[in-house]
Structure 1
Amino acid sequence: MANPKEKTPMCLVNELARFNRIQPQYKLLNERGPAHAKIFTVQLTLGEQVWEAEGTSIKKAQHSTAAKALAESVLPRPAPRSPKVDVNSNPGSITPTVELNGLAMKRGEPAIYRPLDPKPIPNYRANYNFRGMINQRYHYPVPKIFYVQLSVGSREFIGEGRTRQAARHNAAMKALQALRNEPIPERPPQTQEGTDASKSEISLVYEIALKRNLSVNFEVLKESGPPHMKSFLTRVTVGEFSAEGEGNSKKLSKKRAALSILQDLKKLPFIPTVEKPKTHYKKRTKTILKTGPDYGQGMNPISRLAQIQQAKKEKEPEYQLLSERGMPRRREFVMQVKVNNEVTTGTGPNKKVAKRNAAEAMLLQLGYKASTMDNKGWNGQKAPFTEPTSNTQKGLLHLSPDVYQEMEASRNSSTTGGPTATMARELLLNGQSPPADGSLPVKGKNLACSVSVQPAQQLDYLAHIQGFQVGFRDVAPRRL
């Protein structure tokens, strides 16, 4: 069914049969078709009338037969039931107390409930058994009627009911019938102090007391009523003034007490507010780093350039990789740096070195002196020379295949004045180490060192260039 709350045809047939005091009878007449697509035929007998209908299930066939019987039956039908209407009930899901609270807030008149003493039902007779004696085993207390007094502004209403909540609803319904058609009173414009609509009554009381240098004290005087419907009485004292408020919670009673005492505080003479002169503070000038031509010579050029741009309050440098060329073991990177409208480039065997060279070129272009590097490298860190690995012995010169081939070619030739010989002579006489990036200058190119040459081969090569011979002889170790 689309709506489960609606009655099915079988339910309606049962009501019709009950109204006519007959019994409906359903009977399965036929069942045909394959197992996955059965069709059932059901017969309904209602009094002297008989109907038949089919369906894909027994239940559907019964409903179809019942619907057919409802449409064709001539039996008298019961009158439709009218919904129960309670005089004290409120239409919809909103209770009378909730609706009255909303109306009271619009009128600016709080609704206050005060429970009264319950009274027993008059002329109530006890439950007597057939012997004329009071049933002592099943003895129930005499039921009571509860009363509640409701005050809305200057009007009062009395509600009654079997429970206190029913009495509240009854009083609220009476108040709604009396106040629903009355116009809402207009509130006079407030011109005195403490009239901010965004602040609560309690905040306004504290604000006025602070301006007049008065003390504020809230105190709960009384707490009455059952646990589910408490009533609190709170007193507020502001200097020489005092007022009381009542509500079903401490917060509400405190708010109503503050609302009552505000009426007395507004009668006091108005105190003009004196505005304090605004104090003007001088803004501290930020210390600007003076970046002269000698600034940061011992720093990494990348960090040096970034600090200079920050000190000038300008845009930081923008780095971009332009190209990457060369063999996989001998790569060359070209990095570009842009500062405002100035653009420079730098090359190197890796991106880090290329970026550093581009920053150094930008510093020189901007008018700064070249960066200096001590033995420890940039920023006091150890220089990144190539460290020997576990497979490489210490003291080996790491050269590329091209350099090694050139060394072999120069060994077979008789010329000794080429660039390779000059490099070998410098290595032999001065004892210089390879550069930090692990490359050697051969024919104007930086070649990455990847092949290790044995010391004997190096000495043989240098001896061949210098024109002397090298001989090896085993020496017996000395005894200590």
Structure 2
Amino acid sequence: MANPKEKTPMCLVNELARFNRIQPQYKLLNERGPAHAKMFTVQLTLGEQTWEAEGSSIKKAQHAAASKALNETTLPKPTPRPPKNNVNNNPGSITPTVELNGLAMKRGEPAIYRPLDPKPIPNYRANYNFRGMYNQRYHCPVPKIFYVQLTVGNSEFFGEGKTRQAARHNAAMKALQALQNEPIPEKLPQNGETGKESEEDKDANKSEISVVFEIALKRNIPVSFEVIKESGPPHMKSFVTRVTVGEFTAEGEGNSKKLSKKRAAMAVLQELKKLPPLPVIEKPKLYFKKRPKTILKTGPEYGQGMNPISRLAQIQQAKKEKEPEYVLLSERGMPRRREFVMQVKVGNEITTGTGPNKKIAKRNAAEAMLLQLGYKASTPLQDQPEKLGENKSWNGQNVGFPEPTSNS
């Protein structure tokens, strides 16, 4: 029996019944409630004992009845099996090889396993003069042992085991014990990158690749990165990147393209820092004369001919005051002859405007506010009555004119 915490109550009841050589029986006794909130009652029978339980589903009711049975039954229970001892003494479910791969990636050094040929077994031939032919009958074969060589960076480890996987685990355990307390080599060059010059202090927070591009841009030198080599198994690739900055070239290796590119940039930076400093060129100062404002948006004649809504908003912006607030007060009239009343508030001033739609009502309210604030009307309306009065005598009927007759 496995760990009881990993099994459901129904599974444990089945094992209990199997241990006592009886058959568990689940019986649905009752079902009540609406369709969206059903309640089921299930009865569990183990031998001569019965238990009842409820649940929102038949499965939940079965589990509840099984839990009751496990707590209240008087049947003898099977003893749980002890947990298996971890062969590698590794906490958790992570194998030594997986843990070593993670450590190797942090160090930037691939872990490479290489199987070794087993040691030759000496052939001890039977001495027929000692016990005769019976000496061969009880001869036991020597168990086979596998050997593996593990390489992590410049370190080598050897492992052995009854299987090739066990040998890999043994070698990985030895490597973990040796490398866990050692510093990561990638941090060493980063700590030594700080120079004595002030320019290097400014570039402390920049990546090496960015510094290379900045130096090349200042000196007008082309820069190119190229991956020239890719090797290793799929889970532990090794890349070699070459960087070319003008006449300088360097290579970097790492377990990712980004890391190899970074190391190549670090290598070429050592050569670029040896270049002589660039001459300082003073840029001429440009003096710009501030133009005076020729448009006064707050004048009383500003914006004639503009939309009064836009005109009022621009005037408030020029005054650096709050923008106008529009509120729909009411909507009245028949469906085809609607009349909307819109209110606008500017500071403590309030005006209203009406119109057949909200847009015109808002426009009229803004026009009234402009007049109240002392500004001239945005759109002259003096021509409109004349246009309306031109056709006062026309009643909408078509007037016929006689066609001219020819005298011929």
- The TM tier, using the shorter chain, reads 0.5 to 0.7
Q: Contact conserved, 1:236 with 1:244, CA < 8 A, in 2?
A: yes
Residue equivalent to 1:96: 99
Structure ID, larger Rg? 1
Letter in 1 for 2:110: Y
Aligned-partner SS, 1:70: coil
Residue equivalent to 1:366: 374
Residue 11 in 1 paired to residue 3 in 2? no
| Structure 1, unaligned runs of 5 or more | 18-23, 44-51, 105-109, 125-142, 396-476
Residue equivalent to 2:86: 84
Residue 247 in 1 paired to residue 254 in 2? yes
Letter in 2 for 1:156: S
Letter in 1 for 2:74: K
CA distance 1:337–1:271, shift in 2 (3 Å) = same
CA RMSD of aligned residues (A): 6.2
Deviation at 1:302, TM superposition (A): 3.8
Aligned partners of 1:164 and 1:319: how far apart in 2? 79
Aligned partners of 2:100 and 2:329: how far apart in 1? 79
Of 152, 167, 173, the residue aligned with 1:150 is 152
Residue equivalent to 2:225: 218
Q: Contact conserved, 2:109 with 2:152, CA < 8 A, in 1?
A: yes
Residue equivalent to 1:407: none
CA distance 1:339–1:349, shift in 2 (3 Å) = same
Residue equivalent to 1:190: 194
Deviation at 1:150, TM superposition (A): 1.0
Residue equivalent to 2:38: none
Of 184, 190, 207, the residue aligned with 1:200 is 207
CA distance 1:147–1:373, shift in 2 (3 Å) = same
Letter in 2 for 1:249: S
Aligned-partner SS, 1:68: coil
Aligned partners of 2:246 and 2:332: how far apart in 1? 89
Aligned partners of 2:85 and 2:204: how far apart in 1? 46
CA distance 1:164–1:363, shift in 2 (3 Å) = farther
Residue equivalent to 2:125: none
Aligned partners of 2:272 and 2:167: how far apart in 1? 39
Q: Contact conserved, 1:194 with 1:204, CA < 8 A, in 2?
A: no
Q: Aligned ranges for residues 85-124 of structure 1 at < 5 Å?
A: 85-87=87-89, 89=90, 91=92, 93=94, 95-97=98-100, 99-101=102-104, 104=106, 110-113=107-110, 115=112, 118-123=115-120
Deviation at 1:164, TM superposition (A): 9.9
Of 230, 236, 257, the residue aligned with 2:237 is 230
Letter in 2 for 1:111: G
Aligned partners of 1:244 and 1:146: how far apart in 2? 32
Aligned-partner SS, 2:266: helix
Aligned-partner SS, 1:84: coil
Task: Compute the TM-score of the two structures, normalised by the length of structure 2.
Answer: 0.54
Deviations 1:105-134 (Å, cap 9, x if unpaired)? xxxxx331264765444559xxxxxxxxxx
Equivalent residue pairs, number:
340
Letter in 1 for 2:82: P
Aligned partners of 1:226 and 1:293: how far apart in 2? 81
Aligned-partner SS, 2:74: helix
Letter in 2 for 1:363: L
Deviation at 1:86, TM superposition (A): 1.3
Deviation at 1:204, TM superposition (A): 2.8
Letter in 1 for 2:253: E
Aligned partners of 1:111 and 1:2: how far apart in 2? 43
Q: Contact conserved, 1:325 with 1:332, CA < 8 A, in 2?
A: yes
Aligned partners of 1:222 and 1:384: how far apart in 2? 88
Deviation at 1:244, TM superposition (A): 3.2
Q: Contact conserved, 1:335 with 1:346, CA < 8 A, in 2?
A: yes
| Structure 2, unaligned runs of 5 or more | 32-40, 54-61, 122-144
CA distance 1:165–1:250, shift in 2 (3 Å) = farther
CA distance 1:223–1:118, shift in 2 (3 Å) = farther
Letter in 2 for 1:250: K
Tell me which protein shows more helix as a share of its residues.
Answer: 2
Aligned partners of 1:35 and 1:295: how far apart in 2? 85
Aligned-residue identity in percent: 40
Aligned-partner SS, 1:366: coil
